[in-house]
Amino acid sequence: MDNTTWMAAHPGQLYFIFVGLFHQSQHPALLCMVIFVVFLMALSGNTVLILLIHSNAHLHTAMYFFISQLSLMDTVYICVTVPRLLTGQVMGMNKISAPECGVQMFLYLTVGGSEWFLLAAMAYDRFVAICHPLRYPVLMNHRVCLLLASGCWFLGSVDGFMLTPITMTFPFCRSHEIHHYFCEVPAVIKLSCSDTSLYESLMYLCCVLMLLIPVTIISSSYSFILFTVHRMNSTEGRKKAFATCSSHMTVVVLLYGTAIYSYMLPSSYHTPEKDMVVSVFYTIITPVLNPLIYSFRNKDVTRALRKTITSLHPGYSTSNSVLC
């Protein structure tokens, strides 16, 4: 069933049609295959990382608990946007009903907002581990980790509950073609025929607050970490601290950079093509990079992976493993 047939069968229902990504490509079939492969890599990588962390006792620490939460968020994030993108291309049906659009919008806002705060919690965890190592087991016990993770999910859902209902209640009397590949707030707002300037200003302030709080925590944490590392006498300790923190900062730059572009830069800086490219980074590229950043650069994770493979295949030889 194509878009025209579906529209004729549902004349009274509000719908949107995605016009983006594949429409801009000269080789849509090849792009579809590449995105499908990346989707499978992200899904399998994050799933393996979550299972490794939960099945290996020596990974039951605060740092790996937060990494597993990040992997869970990335899995939800990519599953919210990519499957519909791929099925729309394969089946030739790029429409989405208003309720489905609202659900997709709420989920990506919730998960995106949760990730912003989770990265701040991870920075605080590194601050306590490096600056207060003797008090680390007490300050970052399992109960504290659960409270921090729950707080991140709650604050992210607040973002979703605030922006989604307001966005979806605007009258859409212009073209229902969304120049994007999912229901992102700025792309949907452009279709409204009412004045959205006040709402856009409020959304800007909301995003500033949601970014300012985590950025302040991350900046403060890493300022203290750098000061502490500078005073370390052990070269090995410095290397370990920098290796752990550099992985986290890579993820912070990727996620916050795209968020600032999407929600804080003036509309004069935006074009549908640029918006889609930036969105690809935080909805598709980042979820596939995070497991690589936190696994291949982490000896504990690679050791746990080798141990798991060895237990599943007794004849497995670690000397021949590419992970060694």
* Residue 17 included in any domain: no
Decide: residue 103, CB within 10 A, 0-12 exposed, 13-18 middle, 19+ buried. Answer: middle
Is residue 235 assigned to a domain?
Answer: yes
Percent of the chain, pLDDT > 90?
29
174: pLDDT strictly greater than 70:
no
- Structural domain contains residue 199: yes
Instruction: Say which residue the tokens 């590229």 belong to.
Output: 285
Is 305 a domain residue? no
Q: How far from chain centre, in Å, is Cα 125? A: 19
Strand order across the 177-178 sheet: 95-97, 15-18, 177-178
Give the 3-state DSSP-derived string for the chain, with helices as H, strands as E and coil as C.
CCHHHHHHHCCCCCEEEECCCCCCCCCHHHHHHHHHHHHHHHHHHHHHHHHHHHHCHHHCCHHHHHHHHHHHHHHHHHHHHHHHHHHHHHHCCCEEEHHHHHHHHHHHHHHHHHHHHHHHHHHHHHHHHHHCHHHHHHHCCHHHHHHHHHHHHHHHHHHHHHHHHHHHCCCCCCCCEECCCCCCHHHHHCCCCCCCHHHHHHHHHHHHHHHHHHHHHHHHHHHHHHHHHHCCCCHHHHHHHHHHHHHHHHHHHHHHHHHHHHHHCCHHHCCHHHHHHHHHHHHHHHHHHHHHHHHCCCHHHHHHHHHHHHHHCCCCCHHHCCCC
Res 40 pLDDT > 90: yes
Average pLDDT of every residue of the chain: 82
Q: Residue 7: is its pLDDT beyond 60?
A: no
Q: Is residue 322 part of a domain?
A: no
pLDDT of residue 313: 65
Q: Please count the structural domains in the chain.
A: 1
Residue 128 falls within a domain, yes or no? yes
The CATH number assigned to the domain holding 179 equals 1.20.1070.10
pLDDT given at position 148: 96
Each residue's pLDDT tens digit, 22-34: 776 778 888 889 9
Specify the higher pLDDT residue, 163 or 201. 163
pLDDT in tens, 294-310: 776 677 788 877 877 77
pLDDT in tens, 48-77: 999 989 988 888 889 899 999 999 999 999
pLDDT value for 323 = 40
Residues counted in the chain: 324
pLDDT for the residue numbered 280: 85
Residue 202: both structure tokens together = 């409020």
Single-letter code of the amino acid located at 132: H
Q: What is the pLDDT of residues 232-287, one digit of tens each?
A: 776 666 676 676 677 777 778 877 787 777 777 776 677 777 778 888 888 888 88
Q: What pLDDT is recorded for position 91?
A: 80
User: Would the pLDDT of 90 be above 50?
Assistant: yes
* Per-residue confidence (pLDDT) for residue 240, from 0 to 100: 67
Q: Does some domain include residue 313?
A: no
Domain carrying residue 220: 25-299
* pLDDT level of residue 103 (50, 70, 90 thresholds): very high
Q: Which residue matches tokens 């069968």?
A: 9
Say if residue 111's pLDDT is above 90. yes
Q: Classify residue 168: in a domain, yes or no.
A: yes
